[in-house]
Amino acid sequence: MRIEDLQVAFSTEEGPVEALDGVELTIHQGTFHGLIGETGCGKSVTGQTIMGLLDNNARIKKGRIMYREQDLLKLSSRQMERQIRGNEIAMIFQDPGSSLNPLFTIKNQIEEAIKMYRPVPRERREGLILEALQQVKLPDARNLMHRYPHQLSGGMKQRVMIAMMLACNPRLLIADEPTTALDVSIQAQFIKVLKDLKDNLDLTILYITHDLAVISELCDYVSVMYAGRIVENLSMYDLFRDPCHPYTEKLVNSVLGVSTRLDQLEEIPGSVPRLINPPPGCRFHPRCSEVLPVCSQEVPLLKEVKGLHSVACHRR
């Protein structure tokens, strides 16, 4: 998938909000791609735009989302529904509780998804459901599938979501903060399940999160977002070892766990700008310690540093 110059605006009571302003990003088949950024940077909107799930007050102003030679933004909502959503690209959300229907059993819900997206004979469905539940390491799948969502814990529900998605066999999965609501020990189990799937299936994931530690466990490539723009695309290793954008560098050094000493943690002055009236030029310039005169005037474009590493900064 290749996203080119994507611009999305929301109309609000206070005026238009430029949630995405020229997002450029490429996801390679078979890789786990992390999309990181802080609250309100547009990472979730990017996921929703790909899926065609934007709210009514959103408008796509410009750009293309190229997926296997076709532009998803040109498809009708009916085509998206029939051809793309679920069977080509699936999505899981932060709160697994609200993604499952409380009135149906796990089996019913996965079966429903298979019926919609995968033309297999009725007799084979149960086998597929069981297989999917076992792939995500849910214990006692045969009994578990007859349970209702409220009988499962948060971690189990999130694994059911993954199983549902696997049963439909999509090529790309968009995961929006899937572990934020989970405890660390459950999160570790979930990460392990995803890692095993990565080794055994040819799955591509766009993993949206603010948690750099989870990124370091899972992802191959990372795109860093700030205030509606991608500021840097780089490999996971470079993210921690050789970041180029001042924001990326500071962000990495402010993560708890990089150091156990408070005085070694970096702080970024100011706060994330509101997108209703973003700073001109580079949107990070008011908080940047290496600012140049040009930074407040011109929007920096993504420039290649090496191979798959590109950065949007006037300094580099």
Minimum distance from CB of 36 to other proteins (Å)? 10
User: In the complex, what is the shortest distance from the CB of residue 137 to other proteins, in angstroms, rounded to a whole number?
Assistant: 10
Shortest reach from residue 200's CB to other proteins, in Å:
17
What is the rounded distance in angstroms from the CA atom of residue 201 to the CA atom of residue 18? 37
Give the residue with the Cβ less far from other proteins, 241 or 306: 241
- The residues binding other proteins (CB under 8 A) are 38-39, 153, 155-156, 183-189, 191-192, 210-217, 236-237, 239-241, 250-252, 254-263, 265-269, 271-272
Contact 207, 27 (CB under 8 A): no
Q: Which is nearer to other proteins, 75 or 255 (CB)?
A: 255
| Shortest CB 258 distance to other proteins, Å | 6
Q: CB of residue 272 vs other proteins: minimum separation in angstroms?
A: 6
Give the residue with the Cβ less far from other proteins, 8 or 152.
Answer: 152
Structure tokens at 250: 């500071």
